[in-house]
Chain A
Amino acid sequence: MIVADKKPIEEIIEEIGDHKNVLILGCNECVTVCEAGGKKEVGILASALRMYFLKEGKDVKIDEITLERQCDHEYLEEIRDGIDQYDAVVSLACGVGVQFTAEKYHATPVYPGVNTCFLGATEERGLWTERCQACGQCILAKTGGICPVSRCAKRLFNGPCGGSTRGSCEINKEVDCAWQLIIDRMKDLERLDDYEQLSPLKDWSTDRAGGPRKVVREDVQQ
């Protein structure tokens, strides 16, 4: 999932500035799971903002809506009838949701309410870690299911490097050496012979280097 973290309330107050009718727009997907922008976080932020503006003597209306997703036209359409009553939206979706909402509702400023961090997993409640950088050409089949693109600081394809010490990466002892994990896993899978094979140069044209990417699937297009 896409992992995001909450922005400080002070920053959101600054974003809102002098707007008088603000919609806090949550998303029921990834940001709900990572407890940054779901219905619950929308409620907490909206309540805090209402109290803040009241205390400041400012007449600001803060409403709350949480959509199923903000990255799909059909769900974003649900707010079309009411969007004109707001002069700003604070979206608690990931950067995709913020942009898609802004693209759809041109006349309304849309501000981000979370910092979008990475594609990751929930290791335990309150701990999310990165697992994928969406490089566009998955090589997990060759690396025992452990990704050196996202988990090796140097993105090495024939690791480990000399900085790997007792299973830790040289950038931080808390970070596992991805290549140590790969070797351990290959051992468990009895595939160490595969590890001995040199990986060819990776085609990075599917990564961000080629600019914004798109996936076109004519078979499912209507």
Chain B
Amino acid sequence: MQYPADIKIIRVPCTGKVDVIHILRAFEKGADGVYVVGCMEGDCHFNAGNFRARKRVEQAARILDVIGVGGERVRMYNLSSSEGPLFAKYAVEMDEKIRELGPNPIKLPKKSAA
């Protein structure tokens, strides 16, 4: 099982821990895309963690749209912990999607500013 090497995994105890600011900071630091992988809906050990994460992903997408970075760069996926191949499939899907969109538009001005 393989997935694209340029994906950096940040582990959290539950996707309910992921907040809008975490997603925005990732983009601010130059990430081209962010996706949150939570448990299947209805299977959250903490009842609503993955639903909260989905809402926050949607909020982050709205903000990214407003500021022109692009809300389609952030996405929520759900799978169960035993679905390794599906995890890899989603990683490839997201990687392809982001390659289509190109780099994070704040990257170039950021480089020239530095």
Decide whether A and B are members of one complex: yes
Q: Is the CB of B21 within 8 A of A44?
A: yes
Q: Does B72 contact A (CB under 8 A)?
A: no
Q: Report the separation of the CA atoms of residues A48 and B66 in the bound assembly, to the nearest whole angstrom.
A: 9
Q: Is the CB of B66 within 8 A of A47?
A: no
Q: Which A residues from 1 to 46 make CB contacts under 8 A with B?
A: 8-10, 40, 43-44
Q: Does A161 contact B (CB under 8 A)?
A: no
Min CB distance B32 to A, Å, is 13
Q: Report the separation of the CA atoms of residues A62 and B16 in the bound assembly, to the nearest whole angstrom.
A: 28
Q: Does B13 contact A (CB under 8 A)?
A: no
Min CB distance A18 to B, Å, is 17
Q: Is the CB of B106 within 8 A of A55?
A: yes
Q: Does A75 contact B (CB under 8 A)?
A: no
- Report which of A10, A44, A48, A54 forms a contact with B110, defined as CB distance below 8 A: A54
Q: Report the separation of the CA atoms of residues A48 and B61 in the bound assembly, to the nearest whole angstrom.
A: 11
Chain A binding surface SS class? helix
Q: Is the CB of B67 within 8 A of A48?
A: yes
Q: Is the CB of A47 within 8 A of B24?
A: yes
Q: Does A50 contact B (CB under 8 A)?
A: yes
Q: Is the CB of B19 within 8 A of A40?
A: yes
Provided the pairs A51-B27, A55-B109 are in contact, do residues A43 and B68 lie with their beta carbons within 8 angstroms? Answer: no
Q: Does A57 contact B (CB under 8 A)?
A: yes
Q: Is the CB of A54 within 8 A of B109?
A: yes
Q: B63 — which chain A residues lie within 8 A by C-beta? A: 9, 44, 48
Q: Report the separation of the CA atoms of residues A51 and B65 in the bound assembly, to the nearest whole angstrom.
A: 12
Can you name 12 A-B residue pairings with CB atoms under 8 Å?
Answer: A8-B66, A40-B19, A44-B24, A44-B63, A51-B69, A51-B106, A52-B66, A54-B109, A54-B110, A54-B113, A55-B106, A59-B113
| Other A-B pairs beyond A9-B67, A48-B24, A51-B69, 4, CB < 8 Å | A44-B20, A48-B63, A51-B28, A57-B109
Chain B residues proximal to chain A, CB less than 8 Å: 19-21, 24-25, 27-28, 63, 66-69, 105-106, 109-110, 113
